[in-house]
């Protein structure tokens, strides 16, 4: 099944982008994605000297960065560029520069980033499978791993908008969970180092990822134990907790140096007037608006919530996961641009899907989904419908929802036309 998902992804990348204008907002490295990525050509092609940048380069790739006072400045964090470094180097090797593009942003680089993101996502799914095989039966695992990928907007942000950070963040969350899981099995510190390094990189990619660290320590450290028991475990290991913060600090050094270069200070809030307004969260819009509503574009979330409720009957994992969902929902709903610009669904939730899905998959496994014929076939039909919806979005969505925040007729037209 994994091979089928990989082949589908490769086909969709090549087929869907065969007619893409990579110099427009349909490109892989346009706007935000270009801002995350620009550190690579800025460093290795232009030595961070603005006078070497092509004229009007920022505008040609969607203004994800700007040339200001002779400096190349971006509000985006550097972590995604670090993960894209292998893709950038491969693209530099495999072909000559295309003069139609800004150097470092041409078609070979954009395809390299797409396939790099695909590799990261499938590595994440692999590590997730290695974790979940200790909790669910093989036949359940065979079903749920492709479900998590193909029937959510993770699929879209892998094969269509792979230049965004969500596939990388998904990988880092899964890798961190895998490292923590292996550490609890073997107590070998190399696995704890993997856990801490992955979480540090996840924060360097998307700073809001810091929210997941307490959940790792308090719940996922041992999902069958209470929070108080998990706290006792870590209080007995203070040196490990201290080392975690040290590693985060070390990983953040490149960002601090960049801020010093760009803003003259090692500590800088680069988003200007953009920010969170925690007094005015947009819960209904984030969940139900046709303009990127979470449940509207990823209806599987409803099953995640249902799984938390069902799992809570036997353990506290479902309750803990629901509380965590409530926390991230509150934070993401409080961002002033709650629709997160030109997106498909609430993309900020993507890397959290494995955590939110965990109680559901535990419940489905215990319910013996594969041993009940009616449940098995109805589940397959639901999954095929969800996959078809995601494919419809990938091939017809224009990257932005241009209608009003509550214009369901425009959304239905997008879905059915």
pLDDT, residue 139, reads: 82
Which strand (E) or helix (H) includes residue 13? helix 2-16
DSSP string for 61-100: TTSSSEEETTEEE-SS-SHHHHHHHHHHHHHHHHS---TT
**Residue of 3 and 332 predicted with greater confidence:** 332
Which residues lie closer than 8 Å to 109 by C-beta, 6 or more apart? Answer: 29, 87, 88, 91
| Residue given tokens 């988003």 in the structure block | 271
Give the best-scoring range by mean pLDDT among 25-29, 201-205, 374-378, 397-401: 201-205
Q: What is the mean pLDDT of residues 384-405?
A: 88
Rounded-to-integer distance, Cα 299 and Cα 309, Å: 16
How many domains are there within the chain?
Answer: 1
Condensed to tens digits (0 to 9), the pLDDT of residues 48-94 reads: 888 888 778 889 899 999 888 888 899 999 999 999 999 999 999 98
Condensed to tens digits (0 to 9), the pLDDT of residues 11-57 reads: 999 998 988 889 898 999 999 999 999 999 999 988 888 888 877 88
Residue 205 belongs to what domain range?
A: 2-416
HEC per residue, 292-356: CCHHHHCCHHHHHHHHHHHHCCCCCHHHHHHHHHHHHHHHHHCECCCCCCCCCCCHHHHHHHHHH
Predicted confidence band at 314 (pLDDT cuts at 50, 70, 90)?
low
pLDDT, residue 405, reads: 93
pLDDT, residue 377, reads: 77
Q: Are 357 and 148 in contact (CB under 8 A)?
A: yes
| First-to-final CA distance of the chain | 30
**Residue of 178 and 385 predicted with greater confidence:** 178
Using DSSP, state whether 276 is helix, strand or coil: strand
Condensed to tens digits (0 to 9), the pLDDT of residues 354-372 reads: 999 999 999 888 877 767 7
- Which of 161, 115, 146, 174 lies closest to 386 in space, CA to CA? 146
Query: Sign of the CA dihedral 332, 338, 340, 346?
Result: positive
| Residue given tokens 């594969």 in the structure block | 370
Condensed to tens digits (0 to 9), the pLDDT of residues 269-304 reads: 999 889 999 999 999 999 999 999 999 999 999 999
pLDDT, residue 158, reads: 96
pLDDT, residue 69, reads: 84
Which residues lie closer than 8 Å to 251 by C-beta, 6 or more apart? Answer: 197, 200, 201, 203, 204
Q: Check pLDDT > 90 for residue 351.
A: yes
Q: What is the mean pLDDT of residues 174-203?
A: 97
Condensed to tens digits (0 to 9), the pLDDT of residues 136-169 reads: 988 888 888 888 999 999 999 999 999 999 999 9
Q: Check pLDDT > 90 for residue 99.
A: no
Look over the chain and give the mean of its residue pLDDT values, rounded to a whole number: 92
Report the percentage of the chain scoring pLDDT > 90. Answer: 69
Condensed to tens digits (0 to 9), the pLDDT of residues 216-228 reads: 999 999 988 889 9
């Amino acid at each position: 099944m994994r091979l089928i998902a990989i082949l589908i992804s490769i086909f969709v990348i090549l087929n869907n982008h065969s007619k893409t204008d990579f110099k427009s907002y349909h490109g892989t490295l346009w706007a935000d994605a270009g801002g995350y990525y620009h550190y690579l050509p800025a460093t290795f092609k232009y030595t961070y000297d603005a006078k070497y940048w092509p004229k009007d380069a920022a505008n040609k790739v969607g203004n994800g960065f700007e040339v200001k006072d002779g400096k190349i400045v971006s509000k985006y964090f550097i972590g995604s560029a670090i993960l894209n470094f292998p893709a950038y180097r491969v693209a530099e090797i495999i072909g000559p520069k295309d003069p139609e593009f800004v150097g470092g942003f041409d078609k070979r680089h954009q395809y390299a980033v797409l396939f790099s993101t695909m590799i990261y996502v499938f590595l994440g799914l692999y590590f997730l499978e290695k974790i979940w095989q200790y909790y669910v039966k093989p036949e359940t695992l065979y079903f749920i791993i492709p479900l998590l990928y193909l029937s959510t907007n993770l699929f879209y942000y892998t094969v269509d908008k792979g230049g965004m950070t969500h596939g990388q963040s998904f990988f880092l969350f899964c890798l961190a969970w895998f490292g923590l899981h292996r550490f609890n099995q073997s107590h070998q510190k190399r696995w704890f180092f993997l856990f801490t390094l992955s979480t540090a990189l996840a924060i360097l990619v998307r700073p809001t990822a810091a929210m997941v660290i307490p959940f790792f320590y308090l719940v996922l450290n041992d999902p069958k134990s209470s929070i108080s028991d998990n706290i006792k475990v870590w209080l007995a290991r203070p040196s490990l907790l201290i080392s975690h913060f040290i590693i985060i600090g070390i990983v953040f050094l490149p960002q601090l140096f960049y801020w010093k270069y760009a803003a003259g200070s090692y500590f800088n809030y680069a988003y200007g007037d953009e920010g969170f307004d925690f007094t005015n969260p947009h819960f209904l819009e984030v969940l139900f608006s046709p303009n990127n509503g979470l449940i509207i574009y990823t209806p599987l979330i409803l099953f995640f919530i249902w799984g938390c409720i069902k799992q809570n009957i036997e353990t506290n994992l479902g309750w803990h996961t629901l509380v965590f969902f409530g926390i991230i929902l509150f934070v993401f709903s409080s961002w002033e641009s709650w629709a997160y610009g030109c997106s498909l669904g609430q993309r900020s939730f993507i890397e959290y899907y494995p955590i939110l899905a965990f109680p559901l998959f535990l419940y489905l496994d215990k319910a013996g989904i594969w041993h009940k014929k009616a449940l098995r076939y109805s589940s397959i039909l639901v999954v095929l419908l969800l996959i078809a919806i995601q494919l419809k979005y990938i091939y017809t969505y224009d990257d932005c929802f241009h209608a009003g925040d509550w214009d369901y007729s425009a959304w239905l037209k997008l879905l059915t036309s």
